[in-house]
Each structure stands twice: as structure tokens, then as C-alpha cells.
Amino acid sequence: MFLDKLMSPKTAVNQNLDIVMSNYQTNKPGDDNNRTSDHRNREEFEETPTWAAVVTVLGYAILSALGWLRDFLRHIVVFTRSKQISYECFYTRNLYTRIRDVFNQPIASVAGAKVHVMERVSDDYNWTFKFSGKKIPSINLGSYNYLGFAENQGPCSEQAIKSIETYAVTTCSTRHELGHQRYVKELESLMAEYLNVEDCIAFGMGFATNALNIPTLAGKGDLILSDKLNHVSLILGARLSGATIRTFNHNDMKDLEAHLRKAIISGQPRTCRPWKKILIIVEGVYSMEGSLCKLPEIIELKKKYKAYLYVDEAHSIGAIGSRGRGVVDYWKVDPNDIEIHMGTFTKSFGSAGGYIAGKKNIIDYIRVSSHSACYSSSMSAPIVQQIISALSIIMGRDGTNDGQKRIQQLACNVRYFRRQLVDMGFIVYGNNNSPVVPVMLFMPAKIAAVNREMLKRDCAVVTVGFPATLLTESRVRFCISAGHTKEMLDHALKAMDEVGHLVSLRYSKKNPHHRWVELDHADYDKEYTS
Amino acid sequence: MNVGIAQGERNPNSSWLNSRGVWLTYIILVFVLHFILLSIPYITTSVAWTLTTTIHNLCNYYLFHVVKGAPWETSDQGRARRFTFWEQIDDGIQWTGTRKFLQIVPVVLFFIASFYTKYDKTHFLINLATMLLAVVPKFPIFFGVRLLDINRY
């Protein structure tokens, strides 16, 4: 903790020892590298051009200098809107409020492939908003609606509404008391079959699944090795558990091996006793980067050093893999090699909640001793019915091949969209197959500019900047859905092309820059229909 | 807090100085300040260099060692509230790359200023005083130290 470091500031000498340890690695060349460096599986993280980084930092420096000046003036002159001036709100006051209208935009319809965004106007520079009454129908490129199940018509929603007539909306109880309904049992057995594991348990909230179940699995005397870019729910769960946490560089297998070796050799801090267990926590698809975890290499490391593996497939279940079964299906690994499969129902299944799946004895232990299973109320009937209907469609149980068509439509859309963005000259991060498409913006003003300009062209996108991402890596993050038709994607690409020209977003040095009209569309169309 | 915070970093202040391009921008800003001072007509080169080092060191001292806390609502539950920016960098680990860079810049500016002022006595004293003001609080022995209880809370 921070205060411990105050007592004895760790010097960089100890860190040099880490570098020495990392030289003792034994990865045989060309081992599993063949699978992870396959052409279809390429991951690109093009480096920031130096001039763009300098201009970005200059931008933040100028904004901060102006912020200091404005705070000073607020201090000596009483404005009409003088708020309590504290240093913690410096960023919110001076930088965030300037572009506040592009975040937290209210919507007025189903967040499907198209969404109605409510227009807001502000007279006092984004301190207060008023609705103008107009609703902007726009293409939804921000919702995690990967398989297009976020719709209010169709078999899923009909069955969900019918289930309210049978089961009512809530059970008013926890699972351990009177809340264990048969639909939850049906969901758990269906999910276990879907993932090809022994058993599964479902929870009402995806964030809580991570935050409250990692403390059940790990405790004092354990070691948790988590990726640097893991989600906040995993980090919160790890902190709550009381285990020792070490982070390794994102998707860096050499770093992970070095940490494993160092941990096993030196043991627990202070007492040097052996660790009770080592838990490696990774995600299937990282939602800010669009990268996939290198599962075969992690499993090889895990077997070699006898650690346990926890994979959070929140964004990858249903969206990745030839049959939609997540990263396990994508990499074609044995599901029994991974101790804990975790995922959420929010993204691909159009519902809410999370699940943990694995061997029966682990799941039975979680059923008994997890805080989330004991104290949170059980899932509601229409939510569970929506998941069951979506699962039946994906698995093909409803008799049609609608599920497989959706998975293929998503894969087509992702390929089409990504290829054209890369060919136009934008810097796009992530794996070629991931439905999360982050495009780099870098400068703080472009965060607002891109969002507003895309909304003018009827595309609702999500732009993120510092401190949610690194200082010089603000991005716009597209989430492709199976519900997007080719015309919608063309419209979005044309809009991005115009906005990219207006705001000059074509940074790539590896790929040549093209305008939309210069691209050879027949080539892309041929690939799309295949 | 803000949109979709996907990272678990408790205090962004600890790591943003390690980002790509920050060191280069810092040096560029110092030279921009110097060129602005040079363009004022009645200031000689030596006075301009002394002014640059003085302004740089005073701003350095204020921003790194007087201002406490972080300008964000951090998720570390207020642990960084009593620490100055210098103590928050890299979560308190000493002798990292950023810290060494920030300790070297005032010294290098002192050398350049001494050269351009032709080692004149008054300029030397001013430059030395401000350089010590900028460099001495950065020593690890002063980590967390508040002399005479100034700036403690």
C-alpha cells in the first residue's frame, strides 16, 4: 500500500533484480508461437507518432495552465457561479465540463442497431443542460450488442414477457432462502452445456460476479497475477480478497513467466513461505484495446508452474469463436484446462447478470460460500428467460439456424469494418477478429469533435480519454453488432471518413491514407458476401 | 467518475509523466519560454537565461513540492491527499527514469545558464539558489518530510 511505501521507499535496485530474473526464461522458440502469430489472428498496436504525442501533451498543458488561471481568477473575483474550489475537482471543473455534453448522453429508445439519442442544449457552457425535445435517430456504434439480441420484438422478448405471467417479476428473496427458482436451474444447466463444462452458477450482476467471487476463491497467502489492463471489477475483487497482487504487462507472456518464477522462488513477502495458490486472471477480450488474450501460451505456463487460471469472458462469450463459445472456442483449447470460466450475460445475450462455470466441486463451493450467492437476491424471471431464449437460438435448439447466421454476420461485419478503417489510414488497435474497434484520436479536443461530428452525421459513438485511458491514447471505440446491416456500416464508414478528413485522424505510418471514394469497394463487397 | 474507466489505476498522477512524449514536451516548453524571453527587447542573453532558469525552478518547486493531492477524484480513497506531486510519482518508488530525468533538468539548465552568463557572480548566486530549491527537495531523504510543519496538512 502507499503508506507502506512511505515507510520504506522501494528503490529501483530491487527492480533491477526483477530484470535479472526475467532473463532466466525458457520459452522455446516457435513453441506455441505458431498459433498466436497466425495471419488471421494478427494483433496490431501501432505506436503513437512522436509529434502527435507532443501535441497531445501540449494540449493538456495549455488546458491545465488556463485552468490554473481560471481558478486563480475565481479565487480573487467572485463569479456568479462560484463553486467550492477544491483541488480534487480541478480536472472535472476545467477539462471534463468543457466536453461534458459528449458523455452520458440519454437515449430514448431500445439500444439496438439504431438508437434515438436525445438532443441536449446548454446555455452556460455545459454546466446545466436542457432537452430540446428533438430525438436524433442514429446508428448505434456504442452498445455492446454483439449478436443483436437487444430488441423489443421477436421470440426472445415474447417469451420473456410471457414468463412474467407465470413467475412474476421478482422472487423477493435470496437463493439460499426462498429464491431458487427452476428457471435459474434451467439456465445454469444450459450454460454448462453451452460451455462444455461440468457446472455453472449464475448471478444477478456481472460486476458483482467478479468483485464478490474472487474473494471466495483467493485469500491471504495466495498470489494473484492479473493483467495490467484488467477491468475494475477484477481489480476490486482481487483487492477485497486480501491476496498479494502482482500485475504483468498486457499480454506479455515473458513478463508473466518472469513473475511466476520470481514468485515461486522467493515465496510470500517477509516470511518466504510457499504460496498457498497462484491465480492468473486474464480477460478474453479487453474492451478498451480490442485485444484477445493468448490463451494457449497461458495454459502452457499454467501447467508448467502449477497455477490456476481465471478467464473473464465478458466481451468474448457469444461474440468470438466459430460457434460463439468464446475464446475457448476461438483458440480450440480444452475447457477443462481453465479452472474458472467467468462471463456476463449483458453483452451478447441482451440481458443482465454474470456466471461462473467450471468443475462441479468448485461451483458447489461457490454456491455455499460466496457472498453474492448468499446475500444478493436471485435473478428475475424475464431476465433469465431472455438469456435462455437467446442461448437456445445461438445453440440452434429452436430449430432454425438463426444463431449461426448471427455469429457469421457479426464476423463478416467485423472483418468488413476493420479492413476498411485500416485501409483508410486510421490507427486501429486490437485483434482482427474482435468486435471492439478502437480508433486512436490522441488529442483531447478531438474527443469532443469526433463525437459531435459523428452525431451530426447520425452515428452515436463512444469516445474516451484520460484518465480512463493512458494520457496520450484517447480513442473512439466502435462496437460492431450482428444487427448492423451493410448499409449501416457503409454509412458509418462514410461518416468516419468525412470526420477523419475534417479533424485529421489519419495517423498511420504503416498503411497509406485513402479517402472512402478511393477504395476499391468491389473487393470488400466480394469478401463480405463470402 | 468519468466515462468507462477500464483501468484500475488508483492515482493517474503516478503514471502520466511516464507517457510517451511528456519528457520531450517538457523540454520544448522550457525552450519556448526562453525564446519568449529572448524576444523582449531590453533583456540581454544572460539575463534571459537566468530568468528562464529562475522561472522554471520556481514553477518546478511550486508544482512538485507545494501543491498536494491530485487534481482528480481518485479511487485510492484519499491516500494521496497529503502527498505532494513529487511523492506521488510512480507510487513512491525512488530513482525511476522519470525521477532521474526531473532531477537532471534543473542541473543542466544551471550549467547552460552559467555558460551564457559568463560565470558572473550575481547571476551565479541566483542560479545556484534556485537550482538548489528545485533539486534538494527531490532527494529521497526528504521523502515525506515537512520542515517546520510548513505545508503539512
Q: Does residue A206 contact residue A354 with C-beta atoms inside 8 Å?
A: yes
Contact B4 A464 (CB under 8 A): yes
Residue A336 burial by Cβ neighbours in a 10 Å radius (0-12, 13-18, 19+)? exposed
Q: Is residue B25 part of a domain?
A: yes
A152 touches A359 (CB < 8 A): no
- Residue B39, Cβ density class (10 Å: 0-12 exposed, 13-18 middle, ≥19 buried): exposed
Q: Which of A507, A501, A497 is nearest to A474 (CA)?
A: A507
* Pair A116, A109: CB distance under 8 Å: yes
Residue in A335, A499, A472 with CA at minimum distance from that of residue A60: A472
pLDDT of chain A, 530 residues: tens digit per residue: 444 444 344 444 444 444 444 444 444 444 444 455 566 677 778 888 999 999 999 999 999 999 999 888 887 776 555 556 788 888 888 888 999 999 889 999 999 899 999 999 999 989 999 999 999 999 999 999 999 998 888 899 999 999 999 999 988 899 888 888 999 999 999 999 999 999 999 999 999 999 999 999 999 999 999 998 899 899 999 999 999 999 999 999 999 999 999 999 999 999 999 999 999 999 999 988 889 999 999 999 999 999 999 999 999 999 998 888 999 999 999 999 999 999 999 999 989 999 999 999 999 999 999 998 889 889 999 999 999 999 999 998 888 888 999 999 999 999 999 999 999 999 999 888 899 999 999 999 999 999 999 999 999 999 988 877 888 889 999 999 999 999 999 999 999 999 999 999 999 888 888 888 888 887 777 777 76
Considering the entire predicted model, what is its pTM? 0.87
**C-alpha cell of A232?**
475494475
Degrees, nearest 5: CA angle A293-A359-A294? 10
Tell me which residue of A48, A238, A203 sits closest to B20, measured CA to CA.
A48
* Residue of chain A minimizing CA distance to B94: A11
User: Which residues does residue A453 pair with via DSSP β-bridges, in sequence order?
Assistant: none
A370-387 per-residue burial string, b: 16 or more CB within 10 A, e: under 16 = bebbeebebbbbbbbbbb
Sort out which chain B residues have CB atoms less than 8 A from A61's CB and list them. Answer: 25, 29
In a domain, B57, yes or no: yes
ipTM reported for the complex, 2 dp: 0.91
Bridge partner list, A248: A227
- From the number of C-beta atoms within 10 Å of its C-beta (0-12, 13-18, 19+), residue A86 rates as exposed
Q: How many domains does chain B have?
A: 1
Asked whether residue B2 is assigned to any structural domain, the reply reads no
| CA distances to A326, A418, A511, B127 from A44, in Å | 21, 12, 12, 48
For the stretch A306-348, pLDDT in tens is: 999 999 999 999 999 888 899 999 999 999 999 999 999 999 9
In a domain, B106, yes or no: yes
Cβ atoms of B19 and A57 closer than 8 Å: yes
Domain of B105, in residue numbers: 16-142
Residue A10 to residue B93, Cβ atoms within 8 A: yes
B 64-123 residues inside an 8 A Cβ radius of A: 67-74, 76, 79-80, 83, 91-96
Q: Which of A471, A473, A478 to mutate to test the interface with B (most CBs of B within 10 A)?
A: A471
- Domains, chain A, ranges and CATH? 2-30+154-394 (3.40.640.10), 100-140+402-528 (3.90.1150.10)
